[in-house]
A and B are shown apart, each in its own frame.
Chain A
């Protein structure tokens, strides 16, 4: 049973990491808290659902389709609603972003009820057969979600480390002014980073849609998990998000089993509280 719990904790933890890494990227480059992050997860799930049911796409097309659409949506949101943070002289840009993204959360949720309807939907299983890992039976969908999440998080880490754009984002995270002086176009990099962050959330939603199914209100829980991952891993740290996601997934699963499933979500809060009190920079963040 312990092995089964750990394997399940790892698969769900990798999806948490994927959600958290997008938020960490956005926080690093744009220095904002995005309350609507969970809504991009929800939209990604619905896009994958419609891509598979209406267009007959397999998961290797429906998940990228969801990512492309949420990337475009994220970029448009940044250009239209969030760009004043860096194009205008604002006294409290963080407050502006908080209010704007909270408004977006409510808007997307109500819009989803109108457009997608209030009832639950589920795309066809991406992988119909079960997979055995060390003798433990796991659904193919869960293994796929965990594996693709790991690939995307590691891919993003390599992109940020190796490419010019990635270096630009790192520079912006360290010092916006310094990055600007060295030729980084903050406006352009902001909408691209926002699009990428939203696409990662969309990918997470698309990957778990056959597991947890879809409804317009599913964005709340992943948003909370994203913040927990970010607080534990450290603001703006991708490696931190990956480790924090895994820690959170495994601890929650074990805690829910050995302590009480009623406290599953409380375990994440406790971990976040612990880090905020005793190690506010998180696992890999800088003081």
Chain B
């Protein structure tokens, strides 16, 4: 299979000290949908800005369809499209005019522009607002217009930085449906950053979990979930679990991982029914009182929690972005 993105040992330090990226190696096949999942500050945006030729890495190299993003940057830019996290359309002209300006920048011949733009507006479901000022669009419509501006050149690869941040669930769904139908028709490779687990789960072929400038886990959503073992057992407890007890639990043969914090204990095991009595035994011997036990299949949230070691602080971040986007829109 053709390689769309290849990254070898990319590092990026700011001011010589702050490690934004700490050695990234990655390969993305052509025609795939690739998700980079990570908390705020994980380095997702920095990685995307390097791949889209905006900034240079401190060391390492990367290529897009065989073109070096540093040496062949101007050639690379002809193959790629990019939708930044911040708003990237002009709000004081119409949606049609935004597409027209980008069509001209990309040198689309005059005879083809009108047809292409109208087609793109239809694909994204904003044709009835083509003539209105973008200022009057909803957040979801602006996102779809931004994606339309990126897709009008039929890029080989589309980079999306948090494509649905700040949108309500139904608007998010529409954005993705439109994107997917375009992808099915045109076979574009999609590389996107997100912190929405469900999006990575549903829409991507492969997921990289990033934390603190590193890729901590790579695989399909299925693989990632399986990698935790079959089931997750959560304990609500009273009393403190000793490190020794956690170690003992991890030592149980069918247990693939265990994490403890002030709220309780989480154990990943291939068979919860077999593991449960042995864990309870260890806990009781350690003087810990078990308040409740629950067993469930792992979700991507659990995968993320295990490999990134943190939960994604969604709420705070979304308000932040929404505020910025609203302020800019004015």
Is B one of A's binding partners? Answer: no
Q: Which residues of B come within 8 Å of A, CB atoms?
A: none
Q: Which residues of A come within 8 Å of B, CB atoms?
A: none
